[in-house]
Every structure is written in structure tokens, then in C-alpha cells.
Amino acid sequence: MDGPAHGVLTGMVTMGRTMVPAGEGRAVRVGAGRRVRVVDVEGGQVGDLFAFAADDPREHLSAAHTRSATSRLFPQVGESFVTDRRRPILTLAGDTSPGSHDMLIAACDPARYEGLGAPGHASCAGNLESALAGMGLSAAVVPQPVNVFMRIPVEASGRLRWLSAESRPGDAITFEAVMDCVVVLSACPQDLAGINGDGPTPMAMDVL
Amino acid sequence: MDGPAHGVLTGMVTMGRTMVPAGEGRAVRVGAGRRVRVVDVEGGQVGDLFAFAADDPREHLSAAHTRSATSRLFPQVGESFVTDRRRPILTLAGDTSPGSHDMLIAACDPARYEGLGAPGHASCAGNLESALAGMGLSAAVVPQPVNVFMRIPVEASGRLRWLSAESRPGDAITFEAVMDCVVVLSACPQDLAGINGDGPTPMAMDVL
């Protein structure tokens, strides 16, 4: 990718648009009360989103604690994602997509691609590490991500299906920060399974 | 609880029955190829089960990676639970219960009970820490547990319901170790929500 503007890190917050090139990851700092809009620029692209408390990145958005708090597989608009310390970190503020998102599937990682016969392949876990390193941070663990636009329907039997993302060009999901946080988005580099349709494409994060 | 025999730690493995008093946690060492049978002694009791690689307890059974590997909310008999490094650690070998188990809900922890107005209440996260400490170990994080006998049906809308465990006295779920591991079971101390029916009761782990 060339050309796109990058969000500007002003003191402790990021403002404006941060482009996330296809298959790569980026991090932004979002102050409490601000919103971050995650845009699927070309459509059909899954993003693995992570959020960490700005003052202690050992505290992170936790899918399991969020399910426990909301009694849902995925929050509804107006509901919050919470951390592993059960503190609200992001509220789901809006969603223009058809509404398929996932919090069941782990981030792709080097072991996943080794299993697919592609050692050394880019991964969302690797992108998370790189994006945090760019802010001088590191995560103790790779949390279960919020997989925006990822379509994993759950059948009554408990079976999960892996379908291509159905988000359209420009579709966006917007989160409001409840605490000062660092949000990382990986435009999933998966090109060996069909979740990203015809292949990985870029995404964007707008801090509003 | 008084009286029950405890599993005998012989060298690096545990053999025989380890009683888990109501509301407490215990750990056993299970060698590769051996089985551990988790028994709901009186029925209607949820157990939070965790498993760690014996040679490096930073590697742990991961619900998210297990869902990714099995494409199911919970493995079927014959399928394996994998670690956060995507290595099989336990295989589901048998289940005499009605079959309700959960891998969606986080372990109860001090923050959960503070939210319920009961600070200082015993928790599965605290039981995990204590049981590992008894073996000279500590976990870097509290993994999403395997909640045996926990009944959290998923509705088509994505809504989760919290129902009382329907396991009967003596019902058991059995796991076969794929690698040398430490298995921790917390007989969930939750008595402020209905998941444990009339209240917490003891469980047992038999290493076979």
C-alpha cells in the first residue's frame, strides 16, 4: 500500500485515519469518550481487533468476560466489551455492516500457518506484536480477538461454519472507548481459507 | 470436607482419587496416555477445568484454539482440546452426563463477586492459583476454562442462557492426556447464581 494518510499520534492519542494495509496490523491510542471506526475499505475483509488498557496493557479486552457480562455471543449496539478485570473498555456504538462478527475463533498465528503448510506466513498474532512494538508496548498474551466482519454461524448442534465475510465496501463498525486504551487492528492475512473472500484487502481505523 | 482419600503424587504423576471439596480446587499430574475422570459426586455441580503443559505451564488448554481446531463450541467424544500453541493436550474420552458443558463463560473471579456484592468470596480463579501453588507452579494468566457440566445453551439470536447443571450423582466426563500435563479442577463456589442448583457440592478426579 502506498499513499494513505496515517493517523497522527498527538501526545497520548491518535486522531484521523490510520490505514491498515492488507495483511498488516496497526495500533491507535484512543482516549476515553472518543470513537474508533473500523472500515472494511473494499468489502469482504475480516479484521482481528484487540484493545488494551492504556495505563497497563496487561489488562485487555476479554471475549470470555464480555460474553459473561452480556450473556450474548457478541454484544449488541449499546452494550460494552469488558476486560479480563471485568471493566468496560469499548462500547459497540454503531454497525453499518450486515452484522456478522465473531468472538469464538483464535487469531491466526505461526502455528496455524505451519499446520496449513505455510511456515513463516504473516499472521494476526504477529501483526499484533508488531503493532504494539511500534508503540513501545508488548502483550503478555495474545488475547482472543474481536473478529470484525468474520462470519462464523453457530448451528443448533454446536457446529461452527466458516463463511466468507459479507461486509460491503465501506461498511464500518464503530466503538466508543470507555477508558483510555490502545486499539490494534490486523487486516487478517488469511489467504489459505475462504474467510476473506477473494483475498486480503486493506482496512482503516478512523479515530473520531 | 473430611475423610476422602487424596490422589498420591508418585514421582511426577498422580494416581487414584483426588477429592475436590465443595468450593475448592485441586491439581493432579497426568502422564501422556493416562486418563482423568471428573466426577460430579452429588450431581448438579459445575467444575472449572484447566490444563497446562507439564514441562512449561505457560502453555495451556485454550478454548479459542480448540473451537478453531474442532469447528465446534465443544469437542465431541474422540476430539481433542488443544493449547494456545495448537498442540493437542486432552482428548474427550467419555461422558456419562446428559452432555451439557461450556467453553464460553469466564472463570468466576474476585471482580465477579465484587460485582455481586460479595467481595472476598471464593472463586474458581482463586482456586486455580491455590491449586497450582500447591504444586509449586503459577499461571501467567487465568485461561478460559472448560466448564464441565455447566449448562449455557446458545439461542439462535446469539443469546446465552444460564441454567442449573443437569448432571446426576456420579456422572463423569473423562479426558485422556495427549501430553504430560497438570489438570486443575475447581468445584465452582458460585452460590449467588443458580448454575450449581441448590449450592456447591464436592467433585472428584480419578487418575486412571
Maximum mean pLDDT: which of A4-8, A55-59, B90-94: B90-94
B18-57 pLDDT, tens digit per residue, is 999 999 999 999 999 999 999 999 999 999 999 999 989 9
pLDDT, one tens digit per residue, over B94-109 is: 999 999 999 999 999 9
Kindly indicate the confidence band of residue A79, based on its pLDDT and cuts at 50, 70 and 90. Answer: very high
Higher pLDDT pick, A6 / A170: A170
- The verdict on a CB contact (< 8 Å) between A105 and B67 is yes
Residue A6 has pLDDT above 90, yes or no: no
Q: What percent of chain A has pLDDT over 90?
A: 87
Query: How many contacts does A have with B, using Cβ atoms within 8 A?
Result: 79
Q: In this predicted model, what pLDDT tens digit does every residue of A141-199 receive, in sequence order?
A: 899 999 999 999 999 999 999 999 999 999 999 999 999 999 999 999 999 988 888 89
- CB A74 to CB B158 under 8 A? yes
Look at A24-28, A38-42, B192-196, B204-208 and tell me which has the smallest mean pLDDT: B192-196
Average pLDDT over residues A108-117: 95
Cα–Cα distance, A123 to A109 (Å, whole number): 5
Chain B interface disruption, residue of A72, A81, A124, most B CBs within 10 A: A72
Q: Which chain B residues contact residue A141 at CB under 8 A?
A: 84, 140-141
Longest dimension (CA), chain B: 50
Contacts for A123-128: CB closer than 8 Å, 24+ residues apart: A123/A189, A124/A25, A124/A48, A124/A186, A124/A188, A124/A189, A126/A25, A127/A23, A127/A24, A127/A25, A127/A48, A127/A184, A127/A186, A127/A189, A128/A25, A128/A48, A128/A50, A128/A184, A128/A186
pLDDT at B4 exceeding the cut of 50: no
B181: amino acid identity, one letter: C
Q: Which of B48, B72, B113, B124 to mutate to test the interface with A (most CBs of A within 10 A)?
A: B72
Report whether pLDDT(A13) > 90: no
Record: contact A65-B106, CB cut-off 8 A: yes
* pLDDT over 80 (residue B110): yes
* Interface check B100 vs A, CB under 8 A: no
Can you tell me the ipTM of this complex? 0.93
Residues of A with Cβ-Cβ distance to B111 under 8 angstroms: 85-87
Residue A88 pLDDT > 50, yes or no?
yes
B159 → closest Cβ in A68, A72, A111: A72
Mean pLDDT for all residues in chain A:
93
* Cell numbers describing residue B42: 452429588
B55 touches A: beta carbon within 8 Å: no
Q: Which of A26-30, B11-15, B84-88, B126-130 has the lowest mean pLDDT?
A: B11-15
In the prediction, which pLDDT does A4 show? 34
DSSP-assigned letters across all residues of chain A = --S----EEETTEEEEEEEE-TT-EEEEEE-TT-EEEEEESSSS--EEEEEEETT-TTSBB-HHHHHHHHTBSSPPTT-EEEBTTS-EEEEEEEE-S----BSSSPPP-HHHHHHTT-TT---HHHHHHHHHHTTT---SS-PPPEEET-B--B-TTSBB--B---PPTTEEEEEEESSSEEEEEEE----SSGGGTTS---EEEEE-
Q: pLDDT > 70: what percent of chain A?
A: 94
Look at A67 and B111 and tell me if their CB atoms are within 8 Å: no
Q: Is B112 on the interface with A (CB under 8 A)?
A: yes
pLDDT of residue B173 exceeding 90, the answer is yes
What pLDDT is stored for residue A12 in this prediction? 65
Report percent pLDDT > 90 for chain B: 87
- Rounded to whole angstroms, the Cα distance separating A70 from A77 reads 11
Q: How far apart are CA B64 and CA A79, in angstroms?
A: 22
Q: Which residues of A touch B73 (CB under 8 A)?
A: 104, 154, 158, 160
Interface check A138 vs B, CB under 8 A:
no
Residue A10 scores a pLDDT above 70 = no
Q: If pLDDT is split at 50, 70 and 90, which confidence band does B198 have?
A: confident
pLDDT at position A15, please? 84
CA B143 to chain centre: 11
Substitution target from A58, A66, A68 for chain B, most B beta carbons within 10 A = A68
Of A68, A85, A87, the CB nearest to B105: A68
CA distance A118 to A109: 11
Identify which of A86, A109, A158 has the shortest CB distance to residue B112. A86
Nearest to B86 among A68, A86, A112 (CB): A112
Cell, residue A74: 457478541
Q: Is A105 on the interface with B (CB under 8 A)?
A: yes
Residue A55 has pLDDT above 70, yes or no: yes
In terms of pLDDT, which residue wins out, B71 or B4?
B71
Cβ proximity of B90 and B181 under 8 Å: yes
A79 and B CB contact within 8 Å: no
